[in-house]
Structure 1
Amino acid sequence: MAEFAVIGAGLAGISLAHQLIEAGHTCVVFEKSRGLGGRLATRRLEHWQADHGAQYFTASSAAFQAEVGRWLQRGWVKPWAVTPWRLTREQLSPSPDKRERFVGTPNMNAMVHGLAEGIPLYRQTRIDRLEADGDRWRLWDEHGEHYGRFDAVILTAPLAQSQALLPAEVIGAAELDSQNMTPTWAVAIAFAETTGIEADAVFVKDGIVGWAARDSAKPDRPQQHETWVMHFTAQWSANHLDASPELLQQQVVEVLERLTNATLPEIHQSFSHRWLYAQATTLEPIQQWHPASRIGLAGDWTQGNRIEAAWISAHRLATILLDEFA
């Protein structure tokens, strides 16, 4: 039986820990934030909530489809029967496709919380240094507290945060220098009354906002207000990392006004959130396990940039580790 440390309690980290523990190993997860799920995020306010991170997910591979089937049985996710629209400078029109979309219920991170049950977890614990201790690893947090010793360490935080923890001698670490993750500003708005907008989700093909969705139209989202979530494009977000809430709200209101012929109702409440590491731009899979150092890497950015990629990365690394530490 091996002892593993997993850094990051997003879908990749929790899925990996869940599989390792089910196989009989010991696994401890360290998360710098208070909540779980990373970009699978839902913020609750008075009488409304909004999924300000990942908006939905799809399942392409047979392995992930089987996993989503288990989540469906447990009530952690539901299909979102939405027909996205497409907004260009010339027109707004339905853009139907055959992709089945899913959301967590009643929050986007419901499946992460479900999988995390029974996993030893340190929240609000930022690990900032790995120290080799013989053939094992000791972890140090930002306050000088140490944890371990562990047979292997798995890094599942976003690319830059994982790179900062990688010892220089880790074989294959140099390939990460060609990887990159782009930022995204998200804005959520709750209206005092209904907007009258016909579309529930819109891919915006021009301008600085790339996505708009009626969040309150998702399944199991009981709330008293019509809510919308909008994501800005990566380029605009990167150029406006310090954008004010007023500027962000002004820009998204202009987009929503293009979706309706009527005047928008009064805004009840709103918030903005900057995702500094939102999406990977280099989609080539990387080496996930470095046996000489006993350090592994998982997360959507190791396999792509979608929720399915996060789970696939954990599933593949778990298979390697279970063979390595059999």
Structure 2
Amino acid sequence: MATAFGRKAALGYRDGEPCAHQEMKKNRADYSERVIVCVQHRVQIDTRRPGAELPSPAMWGDGVKKLKKIHAMLYAIEQDPAIVKTILMKYIFFIDLIHHNQRGGLLFDSTYIRMPNGPVDGEALTLASETNRYFSVRQERKNYTSRSKTYTPHSFRAKVPCDLSLFSPYEQGLMAMVLASLKGRQARTVSNLTHELRLWKEFSDGDTIPLDYFNLTDNEIALLERNGLHVDGFQRTFCRTMMGIAQENADAIHPLNAARVAAVEQVLDDLIRRYPLPALEMFYDAYLAWDDAFRSALRIDPGRAPRLTATCCDAVCYISSAAYAGEGQSAGVRAYCEEIEDEFNAVAVDLARE
């Protein structure tokens, strides 16, 4: 475990001044607190109706995901004021698509419809079609050329600032990566890219696209990678492998038998061998700390494995996106790795006391 002195020295900390590590801790605390506030806000809205019952906890997550979708759109509008409606819709789509392939689920919990210009989430489309409390929408008739037909592009202006504290570091990196890959590209080019995917080719306009079709093939992943959309890598392998294993063992009868533990540890050993050094060297110590904590959880309390693994999965995805963007050695990333390593070490210590 890194010592407090070592962390301060590495981050250039001076007494009486804030450091990157402190700022990262504040951001992570703001993120956790903001999610709670969003849940409470959803409950307040739903219970204002006369006779309304308190919504179940299962509904609260939907409210947070919808708010995330709105603020992801605000982020795109702020970062690219010239963004057009088609690109904005594809921005939401590609975030969900990549998140599903890396984390095993859609970030925004959207429902996508096959449309002529590609897959579209109906909720996002509604938001982008008329002025609302979050951003104004304007349409202006234009000509492609002096003699061509007219068209009516949508332009957007944010009415409230994007709240990035709603998003984890990985989610922020994912939004930035997708927006950077789409910025400045023609809407038709981006639409044509989605037309190469099975989830568009195998359905007709108006069809709801089943979630199974969001599982990309190797050829589709290669296509997206060539277009600046980073999908594949160790993070995808790790998350798709370990999230299922963690949940399966958490649901099993405790204590786990020796053969089962040995089988899981073989998978863990293989992942260590496949860890991408030196590309993700900045996170390697934190990853080994997770590995130690996970092995302890298998023997002592398998019920802690899913949450422990979800934290590591989010971290690996974030570090991978940071490395892909050339920011892997930044002070903020190093501080994040230090903090995550300490969290995993603390879990291992706590398990040893049980």
TM-score, normalization: structure 2? 0.22
Structure with the higher strand share, 1 or 2: 1
The answer to which structure, 1 or 2, has the higher relative contact order (CA under 8 A, 6+ apart) is 1
Structure with the higher helix share, 1 or 2: 2
